Structure 1
Amino acid sequence: MRIPLIALVVLLAGYRSLGYYAHVAHGQASLIVHRRSIEAVVDDPKTPDATRRRLALAAEARRFASSALGLPGNRSYTYYVQLDRPWVAWNVFATPELSVAAVQHCFPIAGCVAYRGYFREDLARREAERERALGHDVSIGEVPAYSTLGWFADPVLSSMLRWDDDTLVGTIFHELAHQKIYVKNDSSFNESYATFVENEGVRQWRRSRGLAAPDEKGDRLEHGFTAQVLALRDRLKAIYAQPWGDDAKRVAKAEEFEDFRGRYLAWRDGEAGGDRRYDRWMAQPLNNARLLPFGLYDTWVPSFAALFDGVGREWPSFYAAVARLAALSPTDRTRELERLKHD
């Protein structure tokens, strides 16, 4: 499962209190203060060889993003930050106890999103406890990277270097795509568009280096597991819409989660061929909030793939077409994405 990467684009706005504003401002400022140019880190004899190789790869991908994919040619991903923690941030997701709708947080820059981000784990956990005290289902997601949508020169972070090559390269493409086009209050559009750019960008990147096409097994498994989670979310939504008392809904909710565990085991040992990559996620307690990130990244990916083909697979024409979609009203935009998806 992927966690949304535009996690902390709330700098300068959207705070519940001055304390939160100060925390986010301090966290972003700390990254700026501690960043070093990738070129300097690669040239530093004290840099471990493994880090040097990964950063050299990131620098190549950064150049490819602008020269071949038409993505912004700014200073983002030309810096490196060695973090003093395993993750750059933590996202807090929350839903009402008997709803699959996210508790929304709205910011002038990013619009409304389904989480609230923190640079410190203890503060994220404190926020989670506050949401639980309100009776909400809560989940905390670890964030290895995030985007400021071009407001700052986003760096490569040490938390990103644990990924495989394709994920590291693809994330740079993904985040730069957000900097090129972003629509307030439409996370599904934004993430699906950036995911398409990421996926197609990685294919072209690998081809330019004489490498085989990406292994699609991981994508198939991710799509299969995501489909199951989305089906679970639909079943829960139907339960919560019933004219039952809250206690009856709670019982049905618990039964649905238990049934899902059985469905997962059957899928894992059957269609997934025994692959256990999702066992760790399944081992944790299930609630509404844990389901929120699923489906965010890929709802409209087929639509953007059709759009790319329709403009002759030319990046400038593609971005122009995406910009036209972005300018539509939400209703018209969804209608056009549906048409592209099913054409």
Structure 2
Amino acid sequence: MRTFYRLVAVMIVVSGLTGCISVSYYAQSVQGHLQIMTARRDVGKLIEDPSTPKALRARMVSASAIRQFATDELALPDNSSYRSYVDIGRDSVTYAVFAAPEFSLTPRTWCFPVFGCVPYRGYFSKKSATETAVELQGQGMDVFVTGITAYSTLGWSSDPLLSTMLSQDETYLAALVFHELAHQRVYVHGDSAFNEAFAVAVETTGVKKWLRAAGATAQLRRYEAAERRKAEFLTLVSQTRDELGQIYGNSGTSEQKRAAKMAAIERLRTRYRHMRDRRWGRYRGYDAWFASPINNAKLAATSVYSDRVTAFLRLFDLCSGNYARFYASVRRIGLLDEPHRAETLAAADSCY
């Protein structure tokens, strides 16, 4: 833990030197994280404590088994992360602010010592996130703010399980634990698209392996159905991003581009309703996403987590589903410079 405190101190000093991010921003990050870290309770002790509510004890037993599975079967780090628990008393642990120009799908990035440049700013306070969003909107940017249920310090501290991670079923919890631990296994400085897609690949393959090992056939069918719907949703988003890319690249006035942009987004909503009603039956899990404003920032945020997942899943298969070989291959590709990294991943035809 002292190592993490030293890291934070360095980050604050560097921020003052570079002027990229204010000291107050780092201060809120430090304060929010330390509040969580000081409230941690050991999972094993919670399970043994007779005063622990029955429902919470059951979730802790499940979480403990998931955490052990991550190490034993997915070759994820065997450390103290996700072996403690904190009830944070709110629906989201942090809030991420994404921004992109009105006529571009390239998200704005912010750079941080150690972690590199990322396409968002995170806040422990919803009020602070909203204030930043308003400021960016005043600069003419498209903005998207979303609540986050888990975050990773990349192993710099012992990340705890959070009450927000228990907001859904065990499959959701397993996905989060596998995803966040994947960031501790491989992390490429300043390449969020690479890092997030890799973590999603570990998450999805890991959840399927976990459900099969548990003999949870019904849950596995539900999970695979959800993954198919997500793939169809992402295909719709990708189609709209292609349309918008053409609109933004064409000649025309701002008014013409703005009108064409709005029309493309409305076509996206129409295509979604058609797919939902014709293919998905009564499933309406994406209704909230479509009901709220859609803009370049929101579309860019979605692409960060999805664009390279298929390439990582193919690489995983090329590595015969062996996690240690897969991680070693991903790590080698991650050492390449960014253009060669993306090309090598996309063209991989063997375990690298």
| TM-score, structure 1 normalization | 0.92
In the alignment, residue 287 of structure 2 is paired with which amino acid?
A: D
Which residue in the other structure is 1:50 paired with?
Answer: 55
1:214 partner amino acid? L
Query: Could you tell me which residue of structure 1 aligns to residue 238 of structure 2?
Result: 230
1:184, distance to aligned residue in structure 2 (A)? 1.4
Query: Among the aligned pairs, what percent are the same residue?
Result: 39
**Is 1:214 matched up with 2:220?**
yes
What is residue 292 of structure 1 aligned with on the other side?
A: 300
Equivalent runs, 1:190-339 vs 2, <5 Å = 190-212=195-217, 214-215=220-221, 216-339=224-347
Runs (5+) with no aligned partner, structure 1: 1-9
Give per-residue Cα distances to partners, 1:244-300, cap 9 Å, x unaligned. 111111111122222222122111112333421111121112222121222323333
Residue in 1 that maps onto 2:4: none
CA RMSD in angstroms, aligned pairs only: 2.0
Aligned in 2, Cα 1:202/1:129: closer, same or farther, shift over 3 Å?
same
The TM-score with structure 2 as length reference comes to: 0.89
State whether structure 2 residue 153 is matched by structure 1 residue 148. yes
Cα deviation, residue 55, structure 1:
1.5
SS of corresponding position for 2:127: helix
Q: CA deviation at 1:238?
A: 1.3
C-alpha contact (below 8 Å) 1:90/1:142 kept by paired residues:
yes
C-alpha displacement at 1:127, in angstroms? 0.7
Structure 1 residue 342: Cα displacement: 11
**Greater CA drift, 183-192 or 148-157:** 183-192
Segments of 5+ residues of structure 2 without an aligned counterpart are: 1-6
Q: Which moved more, 1:270-279 or 1:321-330?
A: 270-279
Indicate the SS of the match to 1:270.
helix
Q: Mapping of 1:144-183 within 5 angstroms?
A: 144-183=149-188
Tell me the CA shift for residue 206 of structure 1. Answer: 2.0
Mapped partners of 1:106, 1:91: distance in 2: 14
Task: Identify which of structures 1 and 2 has the higher relative contact order when contacts are C-alpha pairs closer than 8 Å and 6+ apart.
Answer: 1
| 2:230 maps to amino acid | E
- The number of aligned residues is 334
**Paired residue type of 1:312:** S
Q: Which runs of 4+ in 1 moved over 6 A?
A: none
Task: Indicate conservation of the 8 Å contact 1:137/1:287, yes or no.
Answer: yes
- State whether residues 124 and 140 of structure 1, in contact with CA within 8 Å, keep that contact through their aligned partners in structure 2: yes
Which SS does the other structure have where 2:316 is aligned? helix
